[in-house]
Chain A
């Protein structure tokens, strides 16, 4: 009897010991990259392709290259349902596993965890979303939002509109309609829009879409029909986008004067309206399609091997490639951190430094197997955590997105001072706010 217990105890002990050793080994030889995603709920339509793109690129690095710098990435998704409370729960859940970066993938969740990042020493990557003012690195050393802020996006739209109107001064006396998701995300660009209205002399008409009315916008679009704005700008997400595109077509709004931000340009946003959506414009900062060696590597090493949740026909669609772009930023920041520190297994603090000196030249995009996939990332620094990079305009041709402009640079000269002021304002309102103590690497 005693022998039986002895053997059983030894077996259990060795199992526990082995698992502890294994987890230690994993901790020592891997880099933990959690992905806060939403594959369920009302916003899953936008969340799924992004989650797939983010996951598949990192998984491809594991499969093809054995990780980054010879260290495997441990990729773990946490489902937020695009819900702020669940997002914070996810953040708290992954925190103890020493993530090198957290991607909230929601402006609301980003706003909730910004104050936690500096305390927990975890860099937050809110890629082209989140708090625009967090681009000010001196106030927000742990938050990064490249390649462009929402305010940059708005300024790029106005560059495009100005080009079509024959100059921004021609906007005087005109009306710009702004339809937006009535939450943190949609409210974000309003201060700059109102500033532009003062600067260029146009009138702004706002059309907020409450979350519960995303698929019930006919009343709002009747207002648009009455107000006849010269241009419509949209900050939409999830089911709001296809509904808005359909409603715009329904009231015969000229689709080539309807511009969405980069989060309103998914294939599933325009596809339900089909040919009626022809002419609809959105900004974009990543390439679309599968004609990139890295995307082909994803197909070969991840999707074809059944290690992905992505349907093959969805690879290369806009939001899938957006997810890939997001993971390229993560991977390059980790690689950079390894280079700066000389360590293989880097920490969140190292990767924060990696982000501050992030550079992806045109040549580097090519090296990554993604030639001309994005504008060169060259302006992120200790003080500027965004870089204010260029985007381009794409247009729905009835079946797919087509690039219809060159790279449009944002009006940094207008945006940056406003961002600095907004950052100061944020810090004042959130006292005590920690002073930046993190040193700036010489390489930046």
Chain B
């Protein structure tokens, strides 16, 4: 009886007794969720264009953030370093298309998937050779990203909003909205959707697969850069960051591998779900449950929508 009370009643009582902590938990979940969405978005973009689960998305995030910090450390002004990092991500996208994707056209998806494994280890090695393995501090001040926090006195307590988190939410939202418009309203966006539907049909109407791949990998690189800056500011810029990319997996399971809105909504559900779960139910299970709770949430959703929240329902006639 006692355990049922602790699971079913006590957490909700706590929410009512300390609403400031409940709001704080929701905020932390929202921030984490938006950042998960950004990571997931990188996966979705590439999956839509090439049907490949890009295992290298995590290391692309680290590589982009390291390039930015590394260039700044060499004396390059912050915004020039940012621009140069964008150029590096473009060169990387072109290189990946020429050297990895193009030779593997028409190969089974699993071959391309394995190629992204290779790419991951290549980028880890390259990053370590160029920048070393030591953690770096994100150039938050030089990029005029805000520090400190606002405290909102409410509900007999307070809710703290870190300025960097507010910036992360705004930047992520703007990026997501921009990408949505780009892919819905522009010619390239329509071409990408055509490629996502069918490579052959897209080729037959004159869409350049190579060009689309470069654009998509470059866009995923920019998303990786934004994600790297935000996560780097919350912790540090190190190779450990790539582990965080795995957080995108439950988001993708939940939101669907091909849906941009799915990545966004899925990210927020996972972020809020795991923080609320950790805070109110975690202590019952010894705390530290976030790493697997995200998958449980995703699996529960899958019971009702096997194709994910916004994933395409595949109906095959037999």
Contacts and interface: CB of A to CB of B under 8 A. Distances in A.
Interface of A: 39-45, 47-49, 182, 206-216, 218-220, 222-223, 225-226, 238-239, 242-243, 246, 250-252, 268, 271-272
B243 A223 contact: no
Interface stretch (B97-105, B107-115, B230-238): B230-238
Interface of B: 18, 21, 24-25, 28-29, 31-32, 124, 128, 132-135, 137-138, 149, 160, 162, 231, 234-236, 238-244, 246-247, 274-275, 278-279, 282-283, 286-288, 290-291
B134 A219 contact: no
A219 B278 contact: yes
A215 B133 contact: no
B240 A239 contact: yes
Given A206-B286, A242-B235, A213 B291 contact: yes
Contact of A219 (B18, B132, B235, B282): B282
A218 B275 contact: yes
Contact of B279 (A216, A219, A268): A219
Nearest to B149: A250
Nearest to A44: B133
B246 to A, nearest CB: 6
A222 B279 contact: yes
A280 B288 CA distance: 23
A241 to B, nearest CB: 9
Contacts of A242: 135, 235-236
Given A182-B288, A214-B243, A219-B274, A239 B279 contact: no
Contacts of B31: 218
8 contacts: A39-B133, A44-B133, A215-B236, A219-B25, A219-B279, A223-B279, A225-B21, A239-B240
Given A44-B134, A218-B275, A243-B234, A208 B287 contact: yes
Given A216-B244, A219-B274, A243-B234, A41 B133 contact: yes
A209 B133 contact: no
Most interface-central of B29, B149, B238 (chain A CB within 10 A): B238
B63 to A, nearest CB: 14
Interface of chain B, main secondary structure: helix
A1 to B, nearest CB: 45
Contacts of B235: 215, 239, 242-243, 246, 272
Contacts of B290: 210, 213, 216, 219-220
B135 A40 contact: no
Given A215-B231, A215-B244, A220 B236 contact: no
A40 B133 contact: yes
A242 B235 CA distance: 6
A250 B283 CA distance: 21
A45 B160 contact: no
B176 to A, nearest CB: 20
Contacts of B239: 40-42, 44
A210 B290 CA distance: 9
Contacts of A251: 160
B145 to A, nearest CB: 14
A242 B136 CA distance: 11
Contacts of B29: 219
Nearest to B141: A274
Given A210-B288, A225-B21, A42 B243 contact: yes
Contacts of A209: 288
Contacts of A246: 234-235
Given A41-B133, A223-B278, A250-B149, 13 more contacts: A42-B239, A43-B240, A45-B134, A182-B288, A208-B288, A214-B243, A216-B247, A216-B290, A220-B290, A222-B275, A239-B135, A242-B235, A243-B236
A215 B32 contact: no
Contacts of A220: 278, 287-288, 290
A209 B286 CA distance: 11
